[in-house]
Amino acid sequence: MNEALSSSSWPPTVAPASPVSPAAVVWSARTRSTAAAPSSARTASGRLDGTRRGKSRPKLATQLDLAVGSPDADVQRLREQVREQMRNEPGVYLMRGVHGEVLYVGKSTQVRTRLLSYFRLPWPEHRHARLLRETARIEWEPMPSEFAALLREVRLIRAHLPKYNIKAARPLDKWWVITVAGGPAPRLRIQRASAAARAKQAAQVIGPFASRRPLVEALRVLNDALGLRDCTDRVPMVLHDAVDLFDDMVHPSLTRTPGCHRYETRRCLGPCVGATTEYAYRAQLSRARAVLEGRDDSPHQQLVREMSAASAALSYERAGWLRDRLTALQELDAQLARVREAITKPSFVYAMPGRDGDDRLYLVRHGRVVAEARCREPESVTALQALEQRGVQAPTGAVVDQLDELLMIESWFRTRPNDAVYKAETVVGALETLVRNSDRLT
Q: Which of 146, 169, 192 is the last residue of a domain?
A: 169
pLDDT at 91 (0 to 100):
95
Q: Please say which residue of 341, 374, 407 terminates a domain.
A: 341
Residue 92 bridge partners (DSSP) = 107, 141
Confidence of residue 238 (pLDDT cuts 50, 70, 90): confident
Q: Is the CB of residue 359 less than 8 Å from the CB of residue 353? A: yes
Containing structural domain, residue 425: 345-442
194 and 139 in a single domain? The answer is no
Q: Which of 169, 191, 215 is the last residue of a domain?
A: 169
Is the model's pLDDT at 253 over the cut of 60?
Answer: no
Is residue 249, in this structure, part of any structural domain at all? yes
* pLDDT, tens only, 111-152: 999 998 888 888 778 888 888 888 888 899 999 999 999 999
CB-based contact 49:407 (threshold 8 Å): no
pLDDT at position 6, please? 39
Name the least confident of 80-89, 300-309, 432-441: 432-441
Assigned domain for 33 exists = no
Q: Is residue 121 part of a domain?
A: yes
Q: What is the pLDDT of residue 305?
A: 93
Between 155 and 39, where is the model more confident? 155
Residue 378 lies in a domain: yes
pLDDT of residue 131: 86
Same structural domain for residues 357 and 434?
A: yes
Give the pLDDT of residue 94.
93
Could you tell me the pLDDT band of residue 280, with boundaries at 50, 70 and 90?
Answer: very high
Same structural domain, 378 and 409? yes
Least confident piece of the model among 83-97, 155-169, 313-327 = 155-169
Q: Tell me what pLDDT residue 213 has.
A: 85
Residue 162 · residue 102 · CB < 8 Å: yes
354 and 413 belong to one structural domain: yes
Query: What's the average model confidence in pLDDT over 58-73?
Result: 61
pLDDT at 440: 58
Query: Within this chain, do residues 89 and 152 fall inside the same structural domain, yes or no?
Result: yes
Q: Is the pLDDT of residue 257 over 50?
A: yes
Quick: pLDDT tens for 384-426.
989 888 877 655 544 566 777 887 888 898 888 888 889 998 9
DSSP track, 25-68? HHHHHHHHTTTTS-TT---HHHHHTT-----------SEEE---
pLDDT tops 60 at residue 254: no
Q: Which of 93-97, 196-200, 276-280, 383-387 shows the lowest mean pLDDT across its residues?
A: 196-200
Weakest-pLDDT range from 17-31, 51-65, 131-145: 17-31
If asked whether residues 286 and 200 sit together in one domain, one would say yes
pLDDT band at 307 (very low <50, low <70, confident <90, very high): very high
- pLDDT on residue 31: 37
N-to-C CA span, the chain: 31
| Number of domains observed in the structure of the chain | 3
Query: What is the Cα 182 distance to its own chain's centre?
Result: 23
Single pTM value for the model: 0.64
Name residues whose C-beta falls within 8 Å of residue 221's C-beta, 6 or more positions apart in sequence. Answer: 299, 303, 325, 326, 328, 329
Could you tell me if residue 21 is inside a domain? no
* pLDDT tens, position by position, 331-386: 888 888 877 776 666 689 999 999 888 999 999 988 889 899 999 899 999 999 89
Q: What single string gives the DSSP state of each residue in 67-110?
A: --S-TT--HHHHHHHHHHH--SSSEEEEEE-TTS-EEEEEEESS
> Do 191 and 330 have their domain in common?
yes
The verdict on 154 and 124 lying in the same domain is yes
Asked if residue 386 is part of any domain, the answer here is yes
- Same-domain pairing of 207 and 134: no
Check pLDDT > 70 for residue 432: yes
H or E element at residue 349: strand 348-352
Mean confidence (pLDDT) of the chain: 76
Same domain membership, residue 350 and residue 302: no
Q: What is the pLDDT, as a whole number, of residue 285?
A: 92
pLDDT tens string 212-224 = 888 888 899 999 9
In a domain, 47, yes or no: no
Helix (H) or strand (E) holding 324, with range, is helix 316-344
Q: Is residue 28 part of a domain?
A: no
**Separation of alpha carbons 289 and 278, rounded Å:** 16
Same structural domain for residues 133 and 282? Answer: no
The pLDDT of residue 153 is above 90: yes
159 with 255, same domain? no
